Amino acid sequence: MKPARPARFVSFALLLLATGCDDMSKQHKENPYASADSAPAEPVPGTVEYHDAPHPVPRLTMGLLQRGRDEYHAFCAPCHAETGNGDGMVVQRGFPAPLPLMAAGGQTGGPMHLHDVITSGQGIMYGFAQRIGSDDRWAIVAYLYALGRSQHATRADMTPEQLARAP
């Protein structure tokens, strides 16, 4: 090997050492929470305090289910797909695929688990607490049950009118 190369590499490394190792954590900056006095005790005027306190579960109505369908299509279907199969557009573009939501003939883990996952996220899925209100999160849970049931419906689930029209 020619000696010029290592020499050039060493001088480059020295240059990096001299210029590139500025520790930014040591530079001067304001820390707004440095003293307890400066932490805001009251909400800033013009803003609303955010609490995610336990919230009553809304009544199950057709309107709630329809709201849940719309919210699911807007917020969840991009990844989970309208069917819940987990092959939504974002996944088709490379995001890791979630497991099918309806795997066990309906829902994974029960309504509280579903509400928790929507609220706080799970694994690489982010939570929706800031984007979807508690009632709407319950609406999505209700819709997931309806979606699961629709995919595992039997003749016993059908009304006499539906049965009359069925093949």
The verdict on 118 binding ligand HEC (CB under 6 A) reads yes
Tell me the closest approach of the beta carbon of residue 106 to ligand HEC, in angstroms. Answer: 12
The verdict on 110 binding ligand HEC (CB under 6 A) reads no
Tell me the closest approach of the beta carbon of residue 51 to ligand HEC, in angstroms. Answer: 20
The verdict on 122 binding ligand HEC (CB under 6 A) reads yes
Is the Cβ–Cβ distance between 144 and 64 less than 8 Å? no
Where does residue 137 rank: exposed (0-12), middle (13-18), buried (19+ CB within 10 A)?
A: buried
The verdict on 138 binding ligand HEC (CB under 6 A) reads no
The verdict on 78 binding ligand HEC (CB under 6 A) reads yes
Pairwise CA distance, residues 151 & 102, whole Å: 8
The residue number with the shortest CB distance to ligand HEC is: 123
98 alpha carbon, distance to own chain's centre: 12
Pairwise CA distance, residues 108 & 123, whole Å: 15
End-to-end CA distance of the chain: 81
In the complex with ligand HEC, the residue whose CB is nearer, 9 or 139, is 139
The verdict on 117 binding ligand HEC (CB under 6 A) reads yes
